[in-house]
Amino acid sequence: MHHLIPAPRTHTAEDAPGARLALGPDTALRSGAGTGTAARWLRAAVGAATGLAQPEPPADGGAHPGPVVDLRIVGEAGRLGAEAYRLTVSADGVLIEGGDAAGVFWGAQTLRQLLGPDAFRRAPLNPGRAWSLSHVRIEDAPRFAWRGMMLDVARHFMPKEGVLRQLDLMAAHKLNVFHFHLTDDQGWRIDIRRHPELVRTGSWRPRSKWGHRASELWNDTPHGGYYSHDDIREIVAYAAERHITVVPEIEIPGHSQAAIAAYPELGNTDVTDTASLGVWDTWGINPHALAPTEDTLRFYEGVFEEVLELFPSPFIHVGGDECLKDEWKASPAAQARIAELGVGDEDGLQSWFIRHFDTWLTARGRRLIGWDEILEGGLAEGATVSSWRGYSGGVAAARAGHDVVMCPEQQVYLNYREDGGPDEPVPIGYVRTLEDVYRFEPVPPELTETEAAHVIGVQANVWTEVLENQDRVDYQLYPRLAALAEVAWSPLPASAQRDFAAFDARMQTHYRRLDALGVAYRPPAGPHPWQRRPGVLGRPFEGEPQPG
């Protein structure tokens, strides 16, 4: 049995049983046209772990005295599509062929797994050690084009180095979309130069709720931070080297108290003393929404202009979720706006916000994506939907011809607890075990084949209200993100027919990879003593979640 995660489409032993290829100081690395990202990564990451320098073989095409790791893009001529690869280990060396540069890179990730867990370290454990590979042929391609993970850095800020580390972990699991939740009520995390108060005021809060919002405990240390333009450029470039797209999220029109704290005129000043609002220090659904004015639109157009300069992603996420409309209902100005625009009601007003930026982004060659509440009041023409409240929003969007990323909270909110035991740290939500995530099926059976084609991918989300540092994020994400990666990549059978026992057996090797990478994952037997949070109130939900 192979120990690869995610599982490849085919894995065939080559030649005689037990045949192996020895790799040593004489192993060269030949990088064909367009394979530079994989070559650089192999020399930097795998080279550091193995001590193998992997020089280029003779440029004149002469024979090389040792084995060669050969990287090639063969495309459709080699019967390989986007992100697909073919990896062959033989007596002559290693050949990685890709349908494109990304395919070659994913093949390189598989090569590291074949080398064993020690290849995931930052320096050789035994310098001069001999490395070897069994002869094998692997053909592989992803099921979904969008294989994502969303990280909320607004509730608890993650410094740049931590974000870069998460990108490395995503790449190790062949995940290719990093959804970057940059703004919320509790913090604004991206520098917008034309609106400097967004970070000067909006990136810091005086304290934080410790645990669920019903907890009586507080952390009285001021919390905050933000990413400069250069930080963002570095993150985006680092991700691109790993064939990961960074999709930024700027929340509108709800989840906006940090922005209103920085610029009170963005709020509904006729019903709320917005000048008295600070950055929110607790959790939950915030009552303050953006004012539906032309000035607000111009302000956020300025925000998005800088966002587009920094993020080349074709998709820009605008949030659109959990926008309470009580202020709009009470605001004479908002009610006059509803009448002026002829949008009918407050849902129509939210739809007006989203439609405006859908048109605005489309005119600039980008695509709007938002949480499934953007369906309320009518879905904008070009919008893509992140279906989080269950499957129903995604089903409705797909049937209407819109693309969908499936990320239902009942299945793949990884801030939800993994176990129902009393030692789980700050237990939130339903129990979603490793097996539950492995059996998650992104495509609802009620969709026709044409409708199902609009499900462009799957994503795990991790919200950080009770995840105050990197280790807590690790604990919630891993090992379950490995299961999600296999769901997103591999052609698995129907949920009930999936061989979880075989996956769990492969995970025993994968835990050693995670150990080598320094990931503070949840152990299968339960949390270590230092991973617990005794006495900190959570909000567990009992029973099985409804599909939604």
Catalytic residues: 184, 255, 322
**CA angle, residues 415, 256, 231, in degrees to nearest 5:** 70
Q: Alpha helix locations (H) across 83-195?
A: 101-115, 160-172
Give the number of other CB atoms < 10 A from CB of residue 481: 25
Asked if the peptide bond before residue 287 counts as cis, ω within 30 degrees of 0, the response is no
- The three-class DSSP label of residue 70 is strand
**Do 125 and 101 contact (CB within 8 A), yes or no?**
no
- The three-class DSSP label of residue 198 is helix
**CA angle, residues 440, 442, 443, in degrees to nearest 5:** 130
Asked if the peptide bond before residue 6 counts as cis, ω within 30 degrees of 0, the response is yes
Residue 95 neighbours by CB under 8 Å, 6+ apart: 70, 72, 86, 87, 88
**Residue 132, CA distances (Å) to 18, 24, 30, 116, 515 in order:** 11, 9, 18, 10, 21
CA-CA distance, 172 to 249, in Å (whole number)? Answer: 24
**Do 95 and 74 contact (CB within 8 A), yes or no?**
no
CA-CA distance, 179 to 154, in Å (whole number)? Answer: 13
CA-CA distance, 168 to 481, in Å (whole number)? Answer: 13
Strand-pairing partners, residue 187, are 184
Amino acid at 167: L
**Do 283 and 339 contact (CB within 8 A), yes or no?**
no
Indicate the length of the chain as a whole number: 548
